[in-house]
């Protein structure tokens, strides 16, 4: 671990390489103890990390997975869209577990607020699309798109409004917010929105920074180590993903730096996280998608149901071109390949290595048909599993330094060198 930490340096980003749900929370959880600041940059409650600590599951949507580590500063960056009741609920969950958070939580005043009416608009837009073209985007219906729409239209509300008074909130919510909502046949429940703002104001007033970039600058000057927790993943990026079946934020390393207001050259490393196979929730191309019994097997073994929506995830095989695409954009220094043990029973493992005449070309690797569950040393992996990992390294030209072999925090192989 020491060698890995030295190699990662003081500012490390953990970024998903596929369509999300790669299991970033676990590597974050392992690394967080060695960093001082855990920062989330973009996205909102569409994310869902499940962390297992002492056999108990914790699911967070807004707070970064690293928040479980007491004493670490937690930053919610300017690129985020924050649903206030969800945030308050997560804070309560931590407090109920005896973990204090408010006094170490720093929220950018420039982050945007997701209101209840944004969630309703999200649902209305999905319905409209489905009526018009037979299917929607398959969003999480957490109001993410509509909140970013308001942000881009320069009429959104930022967390800084928590410094205002109730009369100001009412005026805004009854004014242009109501007009926008109306165009989607959605009514703004002003009293309920005001109540959410009031509760958040009481609880979070002390968390609002003067400026998130200035605060991060101070952390850097104090030689504090910053772990950036990516949300969603590269193939869902608004610019570089499988548009239009993407989320509405920038999910890459560069997007995270932008969302936080950290200068790009401060980043010392970037870990790409990819499952040993692949999943996707929502609509959109998934060229290496499996079908029938195979997909079902992967789903059941991998527990592939959405942490946020409970939807069954589409399951399939690793795609080397997709991994390379993600590596090109993010500049990964190493991989964390997660959930290797899910493939333990496969006789043969197809991996997408290219395309010909619109069809995926697969290379089939032999399975290991034995348990890798909970292994923590690379040497102990079955020979075919080692070959599978080496194949990913050779194909992408990037070393695999971390390999997940189970749900628990300890079930991870950390390699000093590949
Ligand atoms: P939205 O972000 O709710 O607008 O959803 C847009 C697309 O991104 C949908 O296909 C969602 O399923 C997907 N998505 C958003 N957040 C996540 C995530 O954290 N994991 C996996 N898929 C996500």
Rounded to the nearest angstrom, the distance between the alpha carbon of 232 and the centre of ligand 1 is 7
Band (pLDDT 50/70/90 cuts) for residue 176 is confident
Rounded to the nearest angstrom, the distance between the alpha carbon of 233 and the centre of ligand 1 is 9
Distance of CA 4 to the CA centre of its chain: 22
Mutating to test ligand 1, I would choose from 135, 144, 236, 242 the residue with most ligand atoms within 8 A of its C-beta, which is 236
Nearest protein CA to atom 10 of ligand 1, as residue: 282
Closest CA to 54 of 90, 29, 88, 35: 29
Alpha-carbon torsion (241, 247, 251, 257), positive or negative: positive
Q: Would the pLDDT of 169 be above 60?
A: yes
Q: What mean pLDDT, rounded, does the chain reach?
A: 95
Mean pLDDT for 91-104 is 92
pLDDT of residue 54: 61
Distance of CA 138 to the CA centre of its chain: 17
**What tokens were used for 86?**
């969800």
The catalytic position among 21, 29, 196, 333 is 21
More confident residue, 417 or 324: 324
Domains of the chain, start order? 2-109+209-414 (3.40.440.10), 112-206 (1.10.300.10)
**What tokens were used for 201?**
């104001």
Whether 21 is catalytic is yes
Q: What are the CA-CA distances from residue 413 to residues 6, 15, 55, 366, 374 (Å)? A: 17, 19, 19, 21, 9
What proportion of the chain, given as a percentage, has pLDDT over 70?
A: 99
Three-state SS string over 104-129 comes to HEEECCCCEEECHHHHHHHHHHHHHH
Band (pLDDT 50/70/90 cuts) for residue 59 is confident
* Radius of gyration of the CA atoms of the chain, in A: 21
CA distance 417 to 401: 7
- Residues contacting 352, CB < 8 A, separation 6+: 287, 288, 317, 318, 319, 320, 321, 322, 360, 361, 362
β strands within 263-347, DSSP E = 269-275, 278-280, 314-316, 334-338
Band (pLDDT 50/70/90 cuts) for residue 132 is very high
Main-chain phi, psi angles of 35, to 5 degrees: -115, 165
Q: Would the pLDDT of 53 be above 90?
A: no
Q: Would the pLDDT of 179 be above 90?
A: no
Whether 49 is catalytic is yes
User: What is the value of pTM for the model shown?
Assistant: 0.96
């Amino acid at each position: 671990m020491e060698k890995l930490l030295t190699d990662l340096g003081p500012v490390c980003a953990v970024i998903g390489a596929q369509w999300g749900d790669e299991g970033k929370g676990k590597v974050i959880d392992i690394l967080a103890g060695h960093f001082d600041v855990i920062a989330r940059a973009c996205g909102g409650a569409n994310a869902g990390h499940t962390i297992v600590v002492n056999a108990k599951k914790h699911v967070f949507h807004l707070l970064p997975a690293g928040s479980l580590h007491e004493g670490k500063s937690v930053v919610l960056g300017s690129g985020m869209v924050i649903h206030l009741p969800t945030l308050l609920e997560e804070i309560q969950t931590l407090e109920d577990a005896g973990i204090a958070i408010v006094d170490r939580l720093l929220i950018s005043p420039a982050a945007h607020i997701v209101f209840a009416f944004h969630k309703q608009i999200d649902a209305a837009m999905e319905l409209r699309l489905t009526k018009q073209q037979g299917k929607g985007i398959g969003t999480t219906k957490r109001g993410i798109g509509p909140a970013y729409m308001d942000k881009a239209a320069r009429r959104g509300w930022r967390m800084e409004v928590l410094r205002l008074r109730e009369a100001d909130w009412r005026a805004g919510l009854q004014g242009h917010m109501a007009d926008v909502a109306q165009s989607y046949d959605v009514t703004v429940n002003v009293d309920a929105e005001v109540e959410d703002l009031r509760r958040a104001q009481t609880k979070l007033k002390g968390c609002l920074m003067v400026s998130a970039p200035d605060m991060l600058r101070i952390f850097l000057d104090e030689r504090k180590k910053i772990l950036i927790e990516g949300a969603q993943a590269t193939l869902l990026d608004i610019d570089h993903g499988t548009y239009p079946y993407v989320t509405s934020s920038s999910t890459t390393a560069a997007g995270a730096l932008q969302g936080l207001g950290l200068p790009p050259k401060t980043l010392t490393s970037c870990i790409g996280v990819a499952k040993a196979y692949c999943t996707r929730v929502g609509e959109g191309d998934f060229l290496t998608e499996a079908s029938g019994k195979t997909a079902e097997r992967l789903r059941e073994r991998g527990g592939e149901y959405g942490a946020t929506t409970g939807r069954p995830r589409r399951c399939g095989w690793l795609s080397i071109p997709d991994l390379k695409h993600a590596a090109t954009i993010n500049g990964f220094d190493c991989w964390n390949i997660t959930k290797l043990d899910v493939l333990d029973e496969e006789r043969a493992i197809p991996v997408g290595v290219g395309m010909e005449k619109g069809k995926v070309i697969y290379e089939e690797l032999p399975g290991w048909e034995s348990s890798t569950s909970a292994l923590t040393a690379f040497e102990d992996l079955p020979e075919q599993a080692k070959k599978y990992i080496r194949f990913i390294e050779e194909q992408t030209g990037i070393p695999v330094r971390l390999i997940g072999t189970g749900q628990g925090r300890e079930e991870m192989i950390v390699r000093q060198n590949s």
